[in-house]
Amino acid sequence: MAQPDAQKSTTGRIVAPLPIRSAMAALGVVAPPLAARLARTLYFRPNRLTARQAERDVLARGTRFVVEDDGVQVVGRSWGRGPVIVLVHGWSGHLGQLTPFVDPLVERGFQVVGFDWPGHGDSHGDVSSLLHATRVLKALQQLFGPFHAVLAHSFGAAATVYACSTGLQVGRLAFHAPVARLDRYIDEYSSALRLSSQQRTNFIASCETWLKQPFASFEPLQAATKVTVPTLVLHSADDREVSLDDGTQLAVALGGELRRKEGLGHRKLLRDPACVDETVAFLSAGA
């Protein structure tokens, strides 16, 4: 999910620098377990991006709160009062990216709650995963009560589907540019680091030992079979980070509605006025 250079995207598409590839090659020969741990550490280490000024202004108007995940402080914000709608950003993203939805939802009578994943935004820590995000979502449900809905972007959608499949109670789901398959990112990462077949096997084993469960258990299309709530998916056909096929497949797996967009790439969906209005209208239904 992460990438070992300074230009990490929200999805984890990877261009590994030569020094990293060289180090992995050398360690793979002299210390295979160490090579596997290094590959795992890099994989789960996100980029920490900062919010724009307009995003910081909205964040500053929210009530700051802190929850802990495995001893790490996770920072969130809440706005308004009413049925709870939770905002979930993507990998190497931050809560500020979803602030265009805050005021429209508060004006409709909702309490909007969001957080930065561990290792992201204002939260502490250096590593993260779908499991980390899931634990935080469940902690927030204990803190704020039932979730009327969740709005998630990119890998945030994958985390939300997994959380719902393992007990998170949500009334509605809205996903922007959702990731539907994780296996392709493992393949890209292994290729970028030029891992041999054995090194790839060792890397996956190290990850699964750390997570205490197999990668396959997090696959969104598999987890979606356990989720049955109204779902809306918005995805732009020109998205270069997460294919429109992902949004299509996940919408089908969830029995939801796909609305195809044009010219909005991977992140403009989150601030396009028409997309914001469509999403707010869907999230508001049934409250």
Residue 35 or residue 23, greater confidence: 35
Q: What is the pLDDT of residue 11?
A: 46
For residue 37, what are its two tokens?
């741990």
The encoded tokens of residue 13 equal 């598409």
Mean pLDDT confidence for 231-241: 97
Q: What's the rounded Cα separation, in Å, for the pair 152 and 147?
A: 13
Separation of alpha carbons 186 and 23, rounded Å: 19
For residue 12, what are the contacts with CB-CB under 8 A and spacing of at least 6? 1, 2, 3, 91, 92, 155, 185, 188, 189
* pLDDT, position 195: 86
Q: CA–CA separation, 60 vs 247, rounded Å?
A: 32
If you count DSSP H runs as helices and E runs as strands, how many of each does the chain have, helices first?
Answer: 11, 8
What is the per-residue pLDDT for 274?
98
The CATH number corresponding to 53-182+219-284 among 2.120.10.70, 3.10.20.740, 3.40.50.1820, 3.40.1390.10 equals 3.40.50.1820
Which pLDDT belongs to residue 25? 59
Q: What is the pTM of this model?
A: 0.90
pLDDT number for residue 196: 87
**Could you give the C-alpha distances from 184 to 9, 63, 93, 97, 269, in angstroms and in order?**
15, 38, 20, 25, 23
Q: Is the pLDDT of residue 3 over 60?
A: no
- pLDDT tens digits, 96-109: 999 999 999 999 99
Task: Give me the pLDDT at residue 134, please.
Answer: 97
Task: Please state, in angstroms and rounded to a whole number, the distance separating the CA atoms of residues 88 and 55.
Answer: 15
| pLDDT, position 26 | 59
When pLDDT is cut at 50, 70 and 90, the band that residue 34 belongs to is: confident
Structure tokens at 190: 């292994």
pLDDT attached to residue 268: 96
Mean pLDDT along residues 125-141: 97
Tell whether the model's pLDDT for residue 27 goes beyond 90.
Answer: no
Extract the tokens encoding 24: 């992995």
- Per-residue model confidence (pLDDT) at position 9: 46
| Confidence band for 29, pLDDT divided at 50, 70 and 90 | low
List the domain boundaries for the chain: 53-182+219-284
Q: Does residue 127 contact residue 47 with C-beta atoms inside 8 Å?
A: no
* Pair of tokens at residue 26: 């050398």
Q: 6 pLDDT band (50/70/90 cuts)?
A: very low
β partners of residue 84: 111, 147
How deeply is 225 buried, as exposed, middle or buried, from its count of CB atoms within 10 A (0-12, 13-18, 19+)?
exposed
Chain segment 43-72, per-residue pLDDT in tens: 999 999 999 999 999 999 999 999 999 999
Tell me what the mean pLDDT of segment 145-162 comes to.
Answer: 98
Answer yes or no: is pLDDT of 2 > 50.
no
In the prediction, which pLDDT does 194 show? 84
Q: Is the pLDDT of residue 179 over 70?
A: yes
User: Exposed e or buried b for every residue in 154-178, given b needs 16+ CB within 10 A?
Assistant: bbbbbbbbbbbbeebebbbbbbbbb
Torsion sign, CA atoms 62, 67, 69, 73: positive
Q: What is the CB neighbour count within 10 angstroms for residue 266?
A: 21
* Per-residue confidence (pLDDT) for residue 20, from 0 to 100: 61
What string of H, E and C letters represents the secondary structure of 86-151? EEECCCCCCHHHHHHHHHHHHHCCCEEEEECCCCCCCCCCCCCCHHHHHHHHHHHHHHHCCEEEEE
Give the integer Cα–Cα distance in Å for 279 and 258.
Answer: 12
Share of the chain above pLDDT 70, in %: 89
Q: In the structure, what pLDDT confidence band is assigned to residue 144 with cuts at 50, 70 and 90?
A: very high
